[in-house]
Amino acid sequence: MDDSIYRAVVCTELGPPERLELQRLPRAPLAPGTVRVKLRAAGINFPDLLMIQGKYQHRPDLPFVPGMEAAGLVAETAPDVDAPVTGQEVMVSMRTGGYAEEAVVPADQVIPLPVGFSFLEGATFLVAHMTAYHALATRAALAPGQMLLVLGAGGGVGLAAVQIGKALGGRVIAAASTEDKLRTAQKCGADQVINYEQGPVEDAVKRLTCGAGVDVVFDPVAIGQESALRCLAYDGKLLVAGFASGTIPAYAANRILLKGCSVIGIRAGEAGRRNPKMRRQELETLCALAARGIVRPLVSVSYPLHRYAEAMQLLGRRQVIGRVALTIDGN
């Protein structure tokens, strides 16, 4: 194999996953402060699907390589980099570049792989679990004993929120569309579950909380605004973490006023870029939880790199429990 080139999935025009191309690219040189990581796995996230269609808030110039997170081995470091070291197993956080055999990234975007994590788990840990931790711990300050409702609890971000909610001492209600997803949420720590298909979620929340509502709603899906707000207790917090349903709701100001509640936007990546000190503290705590086995991603299916389109389409259908990932063998 020619060491001067590597394979990567490239977006040359905006559109669906089948328009992406698997190309051979020239190896990038190392700039000061960067490292080269031989990638072994890459996580697939819903924003990747939006980004290749030009529908995400970050719109990289064409062409670009999708992929916000990956894991692998440090292959080379710039002379001014002391850590990480060559040969170290790491996770990589990035805005683009993960669907590839290698990536050159700033050293501070590389995090040691938690003990006991596989590359697949490392490649699917940072985006979902950081979103959940930033939302629940930093923005909502979820306290022990408070009631948390996690919508879309069968997906990767939803299951991460269930785990983080339990780690913070919350009482977690998980809501999802199938019994299989709800059983998985229970295995991740959910105290109670709600099946969307069996009636309005707000009615089930009212029943489970004796009419009080929950203190915090974590919503990565974007269900109808009336449903989300009706689930809240007085002075509750609605965490808007994404729009996986494909619709962007408009929240009724009168209901927000009557509930005395807060609607909080969650954009964990941007928050970390604006406040690196906060992000370092969040990462330290999150990785400590991972090292203790308290939080861990569930990778339900993986595909080799050349089957990227199938993997992305599967995630787009929202039928996956947990995470979808790509395996990268370097050949």
Mean pLDDT of 123-130: 97
CATH code, 127-269: 3.90.180.10
Name the 3-class secondary structure at 178.
Answer: coil
Burial class of residue 193 in the structure, from the number of CB atoms within 10 Å of its CB (0-12 exposed, 13-18 middle, 19+ buried):
buried
Considering the entire predicted model, what is its pTM?
A: 0.93
List the end-to-end C-alpha distance of the chain, in Å, as a whole number: 8
pLDDT of 171: 98
Q: In angstroms, rounded to a whole number, what is the distance separating the alpha carbons of residues 45 and 146?
A: 29
pLDDT of 330: 57
231-240 pLDDT, tens digit each: 999 999 999 9
User: Looking up tokens 């269930």, which residue turns up?
Assistant: 162
pLDDT of 249: 75
CATH 3.90.180.10 domain locations along the chain: 5-125+297-327, 127-269
pLDDT at 174 over 90: yes
pLDDT of 2: 64
CATH code, 5-125+297-327: 3.90.180.10
Name the 3-class secondary structure at 113.
Answer: coil
Q: In angstroms, rounded to a whole number, what is the distance separating the alpha carbons of residues 157 and 28?
A: 32
> Given the DSSP bridges, would you call strands 69-77 and 34-44 parallel, antiparallel or unpaired?
antiparallel
Tokens of 163: 């785990």
pLDDT of 1: 47
Q: Taking every pair of C-alpha atoms in the chain, what is the biggest distance, in angstroms?
A: 65
- Flag the least confident range among 156-160, 187-191, 250-254: 250-254
pLDDT of 160: 97
201-229 pLDDT, tens digit each: 999 999 999 999 999 999 998 776 668 89
